[in-house]
Each structure stands twice: as C-alpha cells, then as structure tokens.
Amino acid sequence: MSKNAPLSEAERFLFRTMHTQRHTELIRAEALRLGFAFVGFARAERLDEAARRLEAWLRQGAHGSMAYMENHFDLRIDPTRLVPGAKTVICLAFNYHNPDKQTDPEAPKISQYAYGEDYHHVVKGRLKALLAFIQDNIGAVNGRCFADSAPVLEREWAQRSGAGWNGRHTLTIHPRRGSWFFLAEIICDLPLAYDDPIRDHCGICRRCIDACPTEAISPEGYFLDASKCISYLTIELREEIPVDFRGKLDNWMFGCDVCQDVCPWNRFAQRHAEPAFEPHPGLLAMTRRDWLELTEDVFGAVFRKSAVKRVKFAGLQRNLRFLKKPL
C-alpha cells in the first residue's frame, strides 16, 4: 500500500483513540504532580436527572437563605453553556485532611478546611497551572477553571468521573481516600478518555445521619436540608442564628466536621501535604477564653488568608455569642 494512501475508517478511529488516551494520561500525570489527590474525566453533557433533583431540593426550601442557588439554573446543569463546545469535565480533588485537633476540648470548634489559607485561591492556582500545561503541551484548548466559584454541580461531576460516590451525607467519598478533599473542575473542549462512575458503598451505614447534631440529613440520607446544617448556620446565614438551634451546634463556631468525623471511609484518609493548609501558629492552641476575648486585630492576624474571613469579625462574634456559656 502506498505511504500516501488515505487511512481507513478503522485506522482513523485507532489514531484518534491513541491520541485521546495519550492526552488523558498526560493530564492525569501532571495533575498528580501539581498536588491533586486524584483526577477523573467525564463527558460534558446536560445533567437532566441532576436537574430534577436540584429542582426538588429548591422547591423544599432546603437551600435556606442561599438565594444564589436558584440563579443560573441552566448553567448549573449544562457545562456547554459555561464553555461553548465543551467535550470534557476534568474533575479533580485536593486533600485538606489535618487530624490535628484543638488542644482545649472546651474551645469553640473550627472546621478542618479553614485551618489554613483559603482553598479557593490555593486550588484555583493549581487549576490554572494545569490548564496552561494542557494548552502548552496539547494545543489550542478552550477551557475554564472552577473551584467552588461558579454554578457547577461539583459532586455530580465527581461521581460521574469516578472520583467517588455521593454518600448519605451528600459529600463525595473516595474508596481509598475518604472525603476530606476539595473538589475542582476544568471544563474544556478537548475530548478525552472518560472514566466510569463508582457505585455507592454506603450500604446500611447510618452513622452520619445519627450523628448530625441538628438532624440536617434526611432519615434515609442522600438529602441535606442546608437550612439546618451547622456549616450553613455558622457561615452562610447572615441573620441571627434561630433560637431553635440553641444547644444544638455541638460547640462549632465555623463549619462542622461531624458527618466526616464519623464516616468509616475516612479511616483511609491521609494527612495533606500542602504547606498553605497548615494552621496559623497558635490557632489550635487557642483556649475557650482566648476565643471569647477575641479582638478584631487578633482576628485579622490569625485569619488574614483564611476562609474564615468570609463571615468577617462580626459574623464570628455572632457565632461565639450563640455558643457562649459562663466562664
């Protein structure tokens, strides 16, 4: 056969498949090098079933005062509206697990994810580096980076990409790494080799449901009433915390880790290796009295780059007042 003879359809298919597989493995290797715990690839397509679940969740008012969850509905369920011509959602996870605890058992508690610098900035920087790598090494790829910063159904894409299944507490669980990680995505117009979803492994376990201090997780799981969730009450809610929750916050002043603390899959969790996520010196040693006597200057110094700044000093003071007991 002449060297210039046109390729057959089968040869063209094989050629495309080889390139797609090579690109996929190239991206996977670079993502791991950049510090992501794992990466999966899903076909970019409209999420019709997820759209129905989201509509039902919104109708029940489970989003509380987070009115932004009602906005941009079409963008949330269709990645091609965020990136025209999108072919792939690259789903990534970044480990933040830190088993170190606050030394004073009476101190108001802070969620692990807020120990160090704000993850939005840390993870977004790695995403941009990965997208630049793709464009430099593969070609003119159009893509956008998302780290909890746009209307993207992150846990749906995580499940579709094989990064984990969404447990009864509604968080994504990886069978070898647990659930202590941030999710992030690159939506792009590059076709890649897609991963298979992971089936649900929660079985008959109900530990997260039984342990939730405010009964925010439905009796059978897989549905979270965010308006009852301690993370919502201490972070998202801008008004005063309803008195109905007095004595039910389990001493959490920012976020809540209860459902992850009790999840048996987190026995596989490993400590993160990201310097930016290390707590501010002295943070975990602050006593209950230190927190109750917190000044705005100390707040600014300790949480200068932290996600805790979302609630501002006044918001954290509100939470501390709600938890306050006589010294």
- One-character DSSP codes across 106-138: TSPEE-GGGSSS-HHHHHHHHHHHHHHHHHHHT
Query: Residue 53's closest CA among 204, 174, 155, 198?
Result: 155
What does the alpha-carbon distance between residue 249 and residue 166 come to, in Å, rounded to a whole number?
24
Decide if 74 is catalytic.
no
Task: Name the active-site residue from 148, 189, 200, 290.
Answer: 148
19-24: long-range contacts at Cβ-Cβ below 8 A with a sequence spacing of 24 or more? 20/191, 20/192, 20/193, 21/193, 23/138, 23/190, 23/192, 24/192, 24/193
Longest dimension (CA), the chain: 90
What does the alpha-carbon distance between residue 282 and residue 78 come to, in Å, rounded to a whole number?
44
Which residue bears the tokens 């647990």?
178
What does the alpha-carbon distance between residue 236 and residue 229 come to, in Å, rounded to a whole number?
10
Q: How far is CA 4 from the centre of its chain?
A: 51
Residues labelled catalytic: 148
